[in-house]
Structure formats: C-alpha cells, structure tokens
Structure 1
Amino acid sequence: MTPATHSAELETLELELLLEGARRQYGFDLRSYARPLLLRRLRRHLREERLDTFSTLQGRVLHSPEAMEGLLRALACPPDSLFADPAFFQAFRTRVVPMLRTYPSIRVWHAGCGSGEDTYALAILLMEEGLWGRCRLYASDASDGLLADARTGVLSLPGEQDVRNYQEAGGRRALADYYTRDGNWAVMHPALRDNIFFTQHNLATDGSFNEFQVILCRDTLLAFSRSLASRVHERLHESLARFGFLCLGRKETVARTPHAAAYEELEGTGRVYRRMA
C-alpha cells in the first residue's frame, strides 16, 4: 500500500467516524450527503479552523454544540447577498406572480433558507407585487445558528452589484428602501420580518408540516446523495399543493425523482416547476 493510498483510507475512516459521531450525539445524519461536495466543504472547514484532521474536528464536535453548529454552517451554502440570482427572481416575478394573484391566500416555504438572503429577497418581491399582505412565508433550516442569524434581519450591506442584481430582478424601488443602514450592515425593515416565520427543520430527517402554494429549495439538494435527494423530493411533493410551484436551483431538476411526471416546467424560468398531479 502506497503512502497516498494509506492516507486516503485513513481520511475516509476519520470521515465515517465524524459523521457517525454527529448522528449519535446530535441526531444530524449527514452520512447521505454527496461525498465529493461534503469532502470539499469539510476540508475547507478544517483550513478555516486551523485543524489538521477530521479526527480533531470530531473531538471538538462531540464535546461542543458550538462546534457542531459550526459544522452545519460549513456544510450550508447560502447566497451571500440579496438577489444573488436575479434571473430567477425576474422569472418568478413575470411567470409565477400573475398566477399567485388568483389565490386568496398564499403559503410559501423556503426550505434550506440559510442566513436568509433569498428569503428577504423573495419577501421584497412579494411586497412590491402587492401580495405580501396575504402571504405567510415559512423559512426553515437544519442549523439553529443560521436561523438565529436570519431572524435578526441583519445582512451584509448591499453594494453596487447587489443594486444592479435587484434592478435586473425587476425591482421597482430603491433597494435601500427596504433596510436601515447600521455601519456595514443592513437591518431589514420590520414590515418584511413580521410575515416571515423561521423554524428549525431538517430536510434529511423531518417530515412535511403544512401544504404550500410555493416551495423554494434552491441549491440545497446538490449536497445530497441521489437516494437522499429522492427522499427529500418525496417530502417536497407531499408539501406542495396541486398547481403549486416548486423552485429549484439551476443545477437541480425533478428528473429521475419519484414524482417527475407530476410536474410541468415553466418555460424560460430556469427550474421552476408546477405540480400538475
């Protein structure tokens, strides 16, 4: 056995022990996450924490809930700004919003909301379209720490590129109208925060908790293995009302999932599907 082979096998063993420890100690089952992506994010986390091995990280995680929270944050991949994908929000505004106008009330679920950037961007869009008063927006994540950040409504202060993204997304006002500046931070206005309900929910293990007209689950499934992604798609399908809208990331699809035939993709929206059955 070459030294490189031995090192790779040892890392694999350490990884398995780390994941098993997280499951037994905290109930977070990360074993079905896609391995290449999982390894990249964990190795980056080691560098950021200045740790040498997964075994060292495991020791921290087992003895410190804060270290476990840091691990969950490392595995999340939330956008780092408002309207980070302007094409999606523009497509949502032009193709989905007109149909939402026909609903007397609208329940939206943002599954895997991270620290809330896309959640607040969607809230701004719905407010501009006159739908916010009849919306209840539920935002969930497995990480209590990310949810705590999101609840504060404090985001990085938008820069020039963020303003351009907002305009490309069809923004109708000045982006600064929606927050108050506090140094290098933006505090989102209470009118946005009051209709958002942040709740802890683990897509890998928890079941459906309501029926929604819109579900956002964007760039979250990329971290999951095919078998886990299929189970999550089952959960999303159970949670989506008939003729409701499922919004995925551009590299995600309902193809090869248990309910692919139940959806119709809206042309030109970049992975927005309508449940037809």
Structure 2
Amino acid sequence: MIEPADDAEPQRMSDFDIELKLLLEAVYLKYQHDFRHYAMSSLRRRLSQALEEFGLVTLSQLQDRIIQDPDDFSRLFQYLTVQVSEMFRDPSYFLALREHVLPLLKTYPSIKVWVAGCSTGEELWSLKILFEEEGLAERTLFYATDISPDALARAEAGIYALERIAGFTQNYIASGGRRSLSDYYHAAYGGARFSGSLKERVVFADHSLATDEVFLEAHLVSCRNVLIYFDRPLQNRALGLFESALVRRGFLGLGSKESLRFSSRHEAFDDFRARERIYQKR
C-alpha cells in the first residue's frame, strides 16, 4: 500500500462529495483528463481552494463554468494537479542511487530513465546532474512525463527562483554531490537557469498514469510523491505500468511516504534499499 492515500468512502456521502464526483466525471467526459481515482481528501482541500479563487459557492457552479469555458478549465487544472518539488529532495534517495544503483546501471551499454510525474523538472535535473557526475549521461536517455502541459513547459525551461537555490544546494551536498551546484546554472530571467547541456538526451512528453499505457523499456523509473495523491486502484494501475516498463532487474524509486508493501504489485519487486524506497524488479 502507498501511505496514506487509501481513503475509505463514507456510507453516506456529503453534498460536496457528490458534486465533486460529478465534477470529475464532467472533466473526464469533456477534456479526457481522469482524476476520478485521485485521493478524495486531497481533492476536497484543493477544490475548496478553487471555489474561493473562482468566487463560487458550489462545485456544481464550477462544473458549469468549466464545461462552458476551456479557459476556466485551464485555471482549474492547476488545482487538480500537484506541482510541488525541489532539487535532490530527500537527499538519501539520491545518495543511494549514486552509491548502489548507478554502479549496476554502468553494466548496460545504454540506459533509459523514466521520470514519471516530473512536475516542474526539479527531480529530472537532479537525476541528470547525478548521471553526469557518475559518467553515465552520454549513454542515458531520459523521458520526463507529466499530465500538465504548463508543468512540462516549466520543466523544459529549467528556470527556478533564486531564493530556492540555497535549499537546492544543501540537498545537493547531502546527496553526495561532487562539484558545486552553481556549475550547472547561471542567473537569468530573474532566476537560476540550469544549463542547456543538461537538456541533451531528454524527451518531454504528456503522459497520464490514469489513462495511458507503457511507451518505453526503462532501466530506472523514478516516480516520487505522486502515488500518494491516488486511491489504491489507481496506485496499482500505475505500479503495473512501471512493472511492465522496467527491464528485468530494473529499478523503481518511490517517495519517502510511499511503499509497495500492501500493493497488488509487491511480489514483482524485491526491496533493494527499502529505507530509501528503491525496489528492484524480480
């Protein structure tokens, strides 16, 4: 099970939850984005915020707005997706990759990495820097996917607020960084822009873990702090995609609050570095 996203449905639903389910169904039918199996607790909170932003009282009013106006749906989309990330988040994860996973990946002549739910790119660029420092960048192809076109555009731009760089740098050092993080970016556009050379051998693509299928064979899938926003059936679907995508003995990395322990896919993986949530396909 991925903690703590398995929301138990109440026996009697509130009016808000009824309207929420109808809204998600309308989003799926109108725009083919499927949020129907996202964790209800998180959706309640974010859609309550959306009502305030739109100046509305009920989700039924919001449903009418987004059906009639695609621009309003684009505004709502930002509340339905969670774009929270930072570079080298949970440094012990990246240190474990550096010390235990990449030495094994070096045995492959070419490598493919899938960063699923890449958000605004912080994890992608962290992995690119890691692979660069370990001498694997030239033979590794990265696929960065997300359901949000806006997030993908921001990820590809690789520009982050300068005030975030100090935190990124602390994480980088704790993850075993071999250089100075400043070697990888320069000040531009009022922020820190990461080097264009990092963008080599990166493919950005729209992909939904809720509706799309496997599109590559990967040696490492990194999908961190995404599954906590799904209910259990959708978690199992996503994990099934990762299992299908991975080569034999390939690696799966999850977030610090996520686990395979009670999922339907746990028997397909061995604990490789359990504390860091890194698993190896059997």
Q: Quick one: which amino acid aligns to residue 195 of structure 2?
A: H
- With the length of structure 1 as denominator, give the TM-score of the two structures: 0.90
Question: Do the aligned partners of 1:76 and 1:114 also contact (CA within 8 Å) in 2?
Answer: no
Change (3 A) 1:136 1:91: same
Secondary structure, counterpart of 1:159 in structure 2: helix
Offset from partner CA, 1:184-237 (integer Å, 9 cap, x none): 312111111122110000100000001100001111111111111111111111
Q: Quick one: which amino acid aligns to residue 241 of structure 2?
A: R
Q: Which residue of 1 aligns with 2:31?
A: 26
Q: Which residue of 2 aligns with 1:113?
A: 118
- Offset at 1:48? 4.3
Question: Do the aligned partners of 2:65 and 2:72 also contact (CA within 8 Å) in 1?
Answer: yes
Question: Do the aligned partners of 2:224 and 2:253 also contact (CA within 8 Å) in 1?
Answer: yes
Q: Which residue of 2 aligns with 1:254?
A: 260
Distance 2:52 2:96 in 1: 38
Q: Which residue of 2 aligns with 1:237?
A: 243
Change (3 A) 1:84 1:211: same
Q: Does 1:40 align with 2:45?
A: yes
Distance 1:48 1:89 in 2: 37
Q: Which residue of 2 aligns with 1:9?
A: 14
Q: Which piece of structure 1 moves more, 161-170 or 204-213? A: 161-170
User: How many residues align structurally?
Assistant: 269
Offset from partner CA, 1:2-29 (integer Å, 9 cap, x none): xxxxxx7321222122111101110112
Gaps of 5+ in 1: 1-7
Secondary structure, counterpart of 1:241 in structure 2: strand
Secondary structure, counterpart of 2:186 in structure 1: strand
Secondary structure, counterpart of 1:31 in structure 2: coil
Q: Which piece of structure 1 moves more, 157-166 or 108-117? A: 157-166
Greater length-normalized contact order (CA 8 Å, ≥ 6 residues apart): 2
Distance 1:69 1:198 in 2: 20
Map 1:93-172 → 2, pairs under 5 A: 93-157=98-162, 158-172=164-178
Distance 1:60 1:152 in 2: 31
- Offset at 1:268? 5.5
Distance 1:186 1:255 in 2: 39
- Offset at 1:79? 3.5
Question: Do the aligned partners of 1:249 and 1:271 also contact (CA within 8 Å) in 2?
Answer: yes
Question: Do the aligned partners of 2:185 and 2:192 also contact (CA within 8 Å) in 1?
Answer: yes
Q: Which residue of 2 aligns with 1:218?
A: 224
- Offset at 1:38? 1.6
Gaps of 5+ in 2: 1-12
- With the length of structure 2 as denominator, give the TM-score of the two structures: 0.89
Q: Which residue of 1 aligns with 2:3?
A: none
